[in-house]
Amino acid sequence: MAEARFQIWRGSGASGELVPYRTEVSPGMVVLDAVHQIQAESASDLAVRWNCKAGKCGSCSAEINGKPRLMCMTRLADLPLEQPITLEPMRTFPVLKDLVTDVSWNYQVKKGIRGFAPRPADAEDGTWRIDPVDVERVQEFRKCIECYLCQDVCHVLRDHHLHDAFIGPRFLLYSAALEMHPLDTADRVAELKKEQGVGYCNITKCCTQVCPEGIAITDNAIIPLKERVADRFYDPVKAFWRMLRRSS
Amino acid sequence: MPPEYRTERYDVLVVGAGGAGLRAAIEASAQGAKVGVVSKSLLGKAHTVMAEGGVAAALANVDERDSWRVHFADTMRGGQYLNHPRMAELHAREAPDRVRELEAWGALFDRTPDGRILQRNFGGHKYPRLAHVGDRTGLEMIRTLQDHGIHRGIAFHMETTLLSLLTAGGRVVGAFGYERERGRFLCLEAKAVVMATGGIGRAFEITSNSWEYTGDGLALAYRAGAELIDMEFVQFHPTGMVWPPSVRGILVTEGVRGEGGVLRNSAGRRFMFDDIPDNYRAQTADNEEEGWRYTQGDKNARRPPELLTRDHVARCIVREIKEGRGSPHGGVFLDISWIAQKLANAPEHIQKKLPSMYHQFKELAGIDITREPMEVGPTTHYMMGGIRVHPDTQMSTLPGLFAAGECAGGLHGANRLGGNSLSDLLVFGCRAGAHAAEFARGQAQEAADPATIAAIAARAEAPFERADGGSAEGPYAVQHSLQGRMQALVGIVRIGAEMEQALEELAALEARAAQVAVTGNREYNPGWHTALDLDSLLVVSRAITRSALLRRESRGAHFRLDFPDKDPALGKLNTVIYQDGDGQMQVRQDATPELSAELAAILKEMG
């Protein structure tokens, strides 16, 4: 059996370093298996977050050879094993320990987004009739597993640290899922422009590239939101009309 | 020195943030209770997220012949009549409202052409009954509950694990545990506690469950004095991945078979046609063509034998493998690609109906399920038994302690039907939350006993102190031994002598677990967490083995090679596990609950 070499970031807070490990490779092995094997063999306190091991829960996000990925969905066979594999925690969030980051900011951001507010039920049985096409349009957004890899890669958060002014691709996607929900009646456009900072996104599409669910975050969610904001706040005809209405 | 810890006070403490825990928390909060939720992982990562096929509810949107009565009868037949009939009744009656309520909270299920919630076929359900979202129904449900819950003022303690329940005056008054992040202790005082900790899959080697599912809720409840029921009934899901080794046990949804997927052995034979149990013969197709028509919605067709109950399908697969007709990696073949013979756009159809299965096999096994068969075999999936609860209130035999979802027993009897777990957690999560809030209203807050807490904390810290010698065993080795022995001796096919041996080996493992050492410190230390989880795994493993030994028959998920037939007398008895005054585990058999006249009439007509 072949052996794989790893450089795994160990430490807590800001202080830490890459520590070398070796472990045997078995067929089909993914990076998370290797981390577990290293835990059992030589580093029982190596911290890693994981759950489903099937790409469905979005817990095991990390940077593998510098790329934001899910450890459970990255096969060793697809990595160049002649070099050590580098494993580091997501850089956009504070490190708790080793590969585990403090992602609590994301939970705070979500709480600040206006919740789902359905229109009254309109079918005679007290429910709704929803056209399958309208459901399909938003189902793409609802595939999100909240791995936060899109947040990790977004330069507005990663390099410019604008966590207070910009909610990041995950929550623009979440807002889009609510805004385009066939039953929702709430209006989030003003917050998107102001507190949530949709304007900071300059459409580099890095988020779309790392999304393990293959969601077209930029094209299908963020750009339509930007259009709604532009339509509301920057359309000169509409602005003129609003001015007229206010003055009368 | 007394341990350092922080104290939080709640009316209702919910343990677990999967579907059942979230639904309970939402309901308790809606009743005005101050609610705290503890979860071992981050919010939204619990195993509910893995549920693929759908949520069973007799909405009758696709087949108007469906009703709560048929759902009730299907559930009882699937559970071999060991289910608590009142729970099965409440479950079938209330599931449709709980599903519609999710829609009002933002869930978007797949639709019928006229815009109602679409329902699909599943094993053991007479009519298409599972509301679903492709094959990611669980994600849709947990996200809906999570997003609804965060606006309700519920306090979430994420990545927090409990070490013990706290009791006083014969009732539960809170719990004590630790936060993973810094390893700090946390005391949670509460007037009522709802257990919603899910399953026990980590007691076995091959499982669809993640690291969390060590049976904490069952073990905590048992040690605090609550009874467990039906612990011999562990569901081995027939289709887990078998290759490559690193993905062994990961679930392959029953939805594959619901959409027309067939099981074949190495000779290419659809072996499920060879063994159809008598009580399902009248409603099972006897030819391939009829089975296919059923999966495509023909109301006059009977279901293909691949959609028989999970216990039966799993045993048939084991038989094929044991008799040398398995696939190259020790499974059998599950083929959905064959439907290209029936449908012009089969590859697109499969990708649309089963997107996450397509993705999972493509990424993890390098297999394109639209073109080639999968290899599958049984995987430990679900605990039918659990904390014994009152059917209406979900209160356990210990006052103030409630339980809902997988960690509660009673609804599923000897075997759970697919889709009935998501409806279970909605119906009984809601009930547990409501009744816990009501119970809490009548109670005063009791302070926790400092001496008890000091003892719990000292026990938790002990593995660090044992590390000094350097020769002590680590927790992973003990965990692996336990999983291997349970898989080999108390797995899908059981024999009395092997289970007696398992009890002896469990005693040895208990002794090893009491001596494990861990290195490092208390900050996010998986070695320490694994050491602490061993306690729960050992209690649960012993409870399963003791119950399985006592049931000298084969029924549902419990198959005894030394007693291969059903014993009608045992069909009227539930197995109960409890701790006696000396702290020893005891087991007894109680008569199954009486059927009401209405339910008896339904079973007479359709059972």
Give the model confidence (pLDDT) of B441-468 as tens digits.
989 988 889 999 999 999 999 999 987 7
Measured between alpha carbons, how far is B400 from B445 in angstroms, rounded to an integer?
Answer: 12
Edge-first strand listing for the sheet containing B119-120: B55-56, B130-131, B119-120
B-chain residue closest to A144, CA distance: B139
Provide the β-strand partners of residue B186: B6, B177
Please state the separation of Cα A139 from the chain's center in Å.
16
**Looking at the predicted structure, is the pLDDT value of residue B469 above 70?**
no
- B115 sits in the region (left: phi over 0; alpha: psi -120 to 50; else beta) called left
**Looking at the predicted structure, is the pLDDT value of residue B384 above 70?**
yes
Interface test with A, best of B45, B116, B521, B528 (most A CBs within 10 A): B45
What residues in B contact A128, CB-CB < 8 Å? 103, 115
Measured between alpha carbons, how far is B432 from B194 in angstroms, rounded to an integer?
Answer: 7
What residues in B contact A103, CB-CB < 8 Å? 42
Do the Cβ atoms of A145 and B49 come within 8 Å? yes
Do the Cβ atoms of A54 and B50 come within 8 Å? yes
**Looking at the predicted structure, is the pLDDT value of residue B1 above 90?**
no
Q: How many CA atoms lie within 13 A of B372 on its CB side?
A: 9
How close B507 gets to chain A, by Cα (Å)? Answer: 23
Give the model confidence (pLDDT) of A56-106 as tens digits.
999 999 999 999 999 999 999 999 999 999 999 999 999 999 999 999 999
Q: How confident is the model at residue B470 (pLDDT cuts 50, 70, 90)?
A: low
C-beta of residue B313 within 8 angstroms of C-beta of residue B123: yes
**Peptide bond before residue A118 is cis, with ω within 30 degrees of 0:** no
Of A36-45, B215-224, B254-263, where does the model show the most confidence? Answer: B215-224
Do the Cβ atoms of B106 and A118 come within 8 Å? yes
Give the Cβ contact number of residue A233 at 10 Å: 15
Nearest to A24 by CA among A54, A4, A48: A4
Measured between alpha carbons, how far is B526 from A46 in angstroms, rounded to an integer?
Answer: 7
Q: CA B337, B417, B291 angle in degrees (round to 5)? A: 40
Give the Cβ contact number of residue A137 at 10 Å: 16
**Looking at the predicted structure, is the pLDDT value of residue B37 above 70?**
yes
3-state secondary structure B12-48: EEEECCCHHHHHHHHHHHHCCCCEEEECCCCCCCCHH
Average pLDDT score over residue span B373-399: 97
Amino acid code (one letter) for B586: Q
Do the Cβ atoms of B476 and A59 come within 8 Å? no
Q: CA B103, B107, B108 angle in degrees (round to 5)? A: 95
How close B150 gets to chain A, by Cα (Å)? Answer: 6
The conformation of residue A113, written as its DSSP 8-state character, comes to S
Q: Which of B245, B251, B526 is opposite residue A27, by nearest beta carbon?
A: B245
The conformation of residue A221, written as its DSSP 8-state character, comes to I
Both tokens of B597, joined, read: 């006249």
Q: Which residues contact B497 (CB under 8 A, 6 or more apart)?
A: B562
Residues of chain A where predicted confidence (pLDDT) is lower than 70: 1, 248
Do the Cβ atoms of A145 and B139 come within 8 Å? yes
Per the annotation, the verdict on B157 as an active-site residue is: no
Measured between alpha carbons, how far is A68 from B139 in angstroms, rounded to an integer?
Answer: 22
- Helix ranges (H only) for B249-354 are 255-258, 278-281, 288-295, 310-322, 346-353
A vs B: CB pairs below 8 A: 171
To the nearest whole number, what is the mean pLDDT of chain B? 95
Q: Which of A53, A56, A130 is opposite residue B356, by nearest beta carbon?
A: A56
Given B237, B522, B551, B560, the catalytic residue: B237
Would you call B498 exposed, middle or buried from its count of C-beta atoms within 10 A (0-12, 13-18, 19+)? Answer: middle
A-chain residue closest to B361, CA distance: A54
Interface test with A, best of B105, B139, B348, B483 (most A CBs within 10 A): B139
C-beta of residue A134 within 8 angstroms of C-beta of residue A182: yes
Q: What letters, b where the CB count within 10 A reaches 16 and e where it falls short, cover A169-193?
A: bbbbbbbbbbbbbbbbeeebbebbb
> Would you state the pLDDT for residue B22?
98
Given B23, B171, B257, B349, the catalytic residue: B257
**Looking at the predicted structure, is the pLDDT value of residue B378 above 90?**
yes
The conformation of residue A30, written as its DSSP 8-state character, comes to B
Measured between alpha carbons, how far is B138 from B492 in angstroms, rounded to an integer?
Answer: 26
Do the Cβ atoms of A28 and B527 come within 8 Å? no
Average pLDDT score over residue span B402-412: 98
> Would you state the pLDDT for residue B142?
97
Per the annotation, the verdict on B257 as an active-site residue is: yes
Do the Cβ atoms of A52 and B527 come within 8 Å? no
Q: Which residues contact A83 (CB under 8 A, 6 or more apart)?
A: A5
What residues in B contact A52, CB-CB < 8 Å? 45, 47, 49-50, 210
Place of tokens 């990663």: A158
Amino acid code (one letter) for B390: H
ipTM of the modeled complex: 0.95
Cα–Cα distance list, B31 to B12, B26, B569 (Å): 11, 9, 43
- β-strands A61-64, B171-179 pairing: unpaired
B-chain residue closest to A30, CA distance: B246
C-beta of residue B475 within 8 angstroms of C-beta of residue B537: no
Measured between alpha carbons, how far is B403 from B395 in angstroms, rounded to an integer?
Answer: 7
How close A35 gets to chain B, by Cα (Å)? Answer: 12
Q: What backbone torsions phi and psi does residue B188 show, to the nearest 5 degrees?
A: -115, 105
Average pLDDT score over residue span B16-25: 98
Nearest to B88 by CA among B72, B108, B103: B72
Please state the separation of Cα B97 from the chain's center in Å.
22
Measured between alpha carbons, how far is B537 from B527 in angstroms, rounded to an integer?
Answer: 15
Nearest to B318 by CA among B364, B261, B265, B268: B265
Average pLDDT score over residue span B327-342: 96
Measured between alpha carbons, how far is B489 from B544 in angstroms, rounded to an integer?
Answer: 11
What residues in A contact B102, CB-CB < 8 Å? none
Chain length of chain B? 607
The conformation of residue A222, written as its DSSP 8-state character, comes to I
Q: What backbone torsions phi and psi does residue B593 show, to the nearest 5 degrees?
A: -65, 155
Does B512 contact chain A (CB < 8 Å)? no
Cα–Cα distance list, B388 to A136, B231, B395, B398 (Å): 41, 10, 8, 10
Average pLDDT score over residue span B260-266: 97
C-beta of residue A25 within 8 angstroms of C-beta of residue A3: yes
Average pLDDT score over residue span B46-75: 96
Window 31-60 of B: residues touching A by CB (8 A cutoff) are 41-47, 49-50
Nearest to A178 by CA among A130, A141, A230, A214: A141
Q: Taking the C-alpha atoms of B140, B144, B150 and B151 in order, what is their torsion angle to the nearest 10 degrees?
A: 160
The DSSP code sequence of B343-374 is -TTHHHHHHHHSHHHHHHHHHHH---TTTS-E
**Looking at the predicted structure, is the pLDDT value of residue B150 above 90?**
yes
The conformation of residue B229, written as its DSSP 8-state character, comes to E
Measured between alpha carbons, how far is B528 from B530 in angstroms, rounded to an integer?
Answer: 5
The conformation of residue B593, written as its DSSP 8-state character, comes to P
Give the model confidence (pLDDT) of A138-153 as tens digits.
999 999 999 999 999 9
Measured between alpha carbons, how far is B330 from B310 in angstroms, rounded to an integer?
Answer: 19
Q: Which of B113, B360, B524 is opposite residue A55, by nearest beta carbon?
A: B360
Measured between alpha carbons, how far is B215 from B199 in angstroms, rounded to an integer?
Answer: 6
**Looking at the predicted structure, is the pLDDT value of residue B291 above 80?**
yes
**Looking at the predicted structure, is the pLDDT value of residue B137 above 70?**
yes
**Looking at the predicted structure, is the pLDDT value of residue B437 above 80?**
yes
- β-strands B185-195, B401-403 pairing: parallel
The DSSP code sequence of B151-182 is TTT-EEE-SEEEEEEEEETTEEEEEEEEETTT
How close A73 gets to chain B, by Cα (Å)? Answer: 7
Do the Cβ atoms of B110 and A59 come within 8 Å? no
Measured between alpha carbons, how far is B598 from B607 in angstroms, rounded to an integer?
Answer: 13
Measured between alpha carbons, how far is A120 from B66 in angstroms, rounded to an integer?
Answer: 27
Amino acid code (one letter) for B67: S
Do the Cβ atoms of A57 and B49 come within 8 Å? yes
C-beta of residue B302 within 8 angstroms of C-beta of residue B352: no
> Would you state the pLDDT for residue B356?
87
C-beta of residue B41 within 8 angstroms of C-beta of residue B158: yes
Sign for the pseudo-dihedral over CA of A142, B137, A73, B200: positive
Give the Cβ contact number of residue B463 at 10 Å: 25
Q: Which of B100, B133, B523 is opposite residue A12, by nearest beta carbon?
A: B523
**Looking at the predicted structure, is the pLDDT value of residue B607 above 90?**
no
Give the Cβ contact number of residue B127 at 10 Å: 18
Measured between alpha carbons, how far is B417 from B557 in angstroms, rounded to an integer?
Answer: 11
How close A239 gets to chain B, by Cα (Å)? Answer: 33
B-chain residue closest to A27, CA distance: B244
Does B250 contact chain A (CB < 8 Å)? yes
